[in-house]
Amino acid sequence: MAIDVLIGRDAVSIDETVFATLFDNSVAGTYRGYERALESGRIRYAELVELSRKGEIPHSLFFAPLSLVQQQVKTKTEKLLAGINRETFSIGSRSQVDLSDVELIVKDLIRKQQLLRKHDPSLRQNKIIGLLRDDTSPVDTDAARLMEAIGISQESLRACGTKTKALDLMIDHLEANQVFVSRSVPNYMPQRLTQVKFSGMTIRDNKIPYIFLAGGDHEDDQEPVGRTIFTLALMAVLVARRIFAPMTWDGGSAETDPGREYDIAGAMLMPTAQMKELSPTSVDDMKAVSDEFKVTPSAVTVRSMRLGIINRETASDHLDHLRAEFRSLPKGGPQRPIRPERAVRKYNGRELTVRMLHVLDIGNISPGEFCRSICLNNLTPSRIDDLRRAVE
């Protein structure tokens, strides 16, 4: 099979496998122009060059032998993903994540890390990475140490009026400590997550590690914002323990030992002393405590079991009840479309966006480069001021 490259009235054929290999390993693989070319078997030379530019592909490679192309892609990928664990970090979950399912997002966030490191001399060494190295330290001690390092307290989280505000507070404090947080926004990322089920991933960098929070249905029937809060705490623990990998966790299981990382995250959000004082036992207790600590009733149930407040059988019964109750809730209607500038801010994270706007303002990158590298061409230069307002 071949793709015809149209130059005026002439056509030059290139190997379709070469064409697909190069684009499938770049952000340009999600552009409609690439899909049209595969469907029609042809592409204008000028469009090929433009897509190559968007994907950072030397367009001469499209005319190279497949073996050379595959080697070039392999070498680039290995260099870019060095230090990213290809094994899924799973907690109570049988789900596995193939790195290829999220690879373009990983590559994009790594490119953003590299770009900011190149242009922002104010970045300091990160104090969160490796903070929790000692496996013999008490879980409660590790939880308190991480919360103090982030600069957040259980009292400040509990004082938030809603779980959404509590999530925002956690993100703000992590980003203030150079742990950037990216959140899934369909149609504004370099890769679609339609088939992969995972909680998120941590991406290594000595100064500005990234946490990526996956959106969508995690198939454990829990209220989304409370689940995301626990996921974020858990992934902050992974960063502090130098674990960088895609991650899945089942927040509604009482059958497996979730391990040290899970217990530290639980102690961060639901402190041992306060949990034992409240001593939740019934389903209604779990709901009331979940509102207090800004997590899900399922998280309170598992935490109560881990602390010995309830036994495993009671926990399993409560989790079954909570799952059934959640499934019976009416589903929301169509969501209001997110504005492009807010989508870009959400996917990049506020801190990276603000810092890269400063890089733009001092002239270290052009508006076109900013829109391509930071906004993935979802905003034009004329819309950059909209992005400024979105991060104010």
- The predicted structure's pLDDT at residue 294: 96
Q: Mean pLDDT: which of 184-188, 311-315, 333-337 is highest? A: 311-315
Query: Which of the four pLDDT bands, split at 50, 70 and 90, describes residue 191?
Result: confident
Residues 344 and 386 in one domain: yes
Residue 335 lies in a domain: no
Residue 73 lies in a domain: no
Residue 106 lies in a domain: yes
* Rounded CA separation 319/252 (Å): 6
Residue 130 lies in a domain: yes
Query: Which of the four pLDDT bands, split at 50, 70 and 90, describes residue 236?
Result: very high
DSSP 285: H
* Rounded CA separation 164/169 (Å): 9
Q: In the predicted model, is pLDDT for residue 213 greater than 60?
A: yes
Residues 315 and 344 in one domain: no
Query: Which ranges of the chain would DSSP assign to H, the alpha helix?
Result: 16-24, 32-40, 45-54, 66-80, 103-119, 139-150, 154-158, 163-176, 224-240, 260-269, 272-278, 283-293, 297-306, 312-328, 340-348, 350-361, 367-373, 384-390
Residues 250 and 374 in one domain: no
Q: In the predicted model, is pLDDT for residue 255 greater than 70?
A: no
Residue 80 lies in a domain: no
* Average pLDDT value over all residues in the chain: 89
Domain boundary among 328, 357, 380: 328
Residues 165 and 312 in one domain: yes
- The predicted structure's pLDDT at residue 188: 92
Residue 75 lies in a domain: no
Distance of CA 38 to the CA centre of its chain: 30
Residues 184 and 39 in one domain: no
Percent of the chain with pLDDT over 70: 92
- Give the lowest-confidence range in 11-25, 85-99, 239-253, 341-355: 85-99
More confident residue, 259 or 318: 318
Tens of pLDDT, residue by residue over 78-96, are: 776 665 666 667 776 767 7
Residue 78 lies in a domain: no
Query: Which of the four pLDDT bands, split at 50, 70 and 90, describes residue 257?
Result: confident
Tens of pLDDT, residue by residue over 59-71, are: 889 999 999 999 9
* Rounded CA separation 309/274 (Å): 12
Residues 295 and 154 in one domain: yes
Strand-pair partners of 249: 91
Query: Which of the four pLDDT bands, split at 50, 70 and 90, describes residue 4?
Result: very high
pTM score over 0.85: no
Query: Which of the four pLDDT bands, split at 50, 70 and 90, describes residue 73?
Result: confident
Number of domains in the chain: 3
Residues 268 and 322 in one domain: yes
- The predicted structure's pLDDT at residue 54: 76
Task: Indicate the Cα dihedral angle 186, 192, 193, 195, nearest 10°.
Answer: 130
Domain that holds residue 383: 340-390
Domain boundary among 40, 58, 76: 58
Residues 315 and 356 in one domain: no
Residues 344 and 228 in one domain: no
Residues 304 and 187 in one domain: yes
Q: In the predicted model, is pLDDT for residue 160 greater than 90?
A: yes
Residue 233 lies in a domain: yes
Tens of pLDDT, residue by residue over 104-145, are: 888 899 989 999 999 999 999 999 999 998 889 999 999 999
Residues 357 and 292 in one domain: no
- The predicted structure's pLDDT at residue 131: 97
Residues 348 and 205 in one domain: no
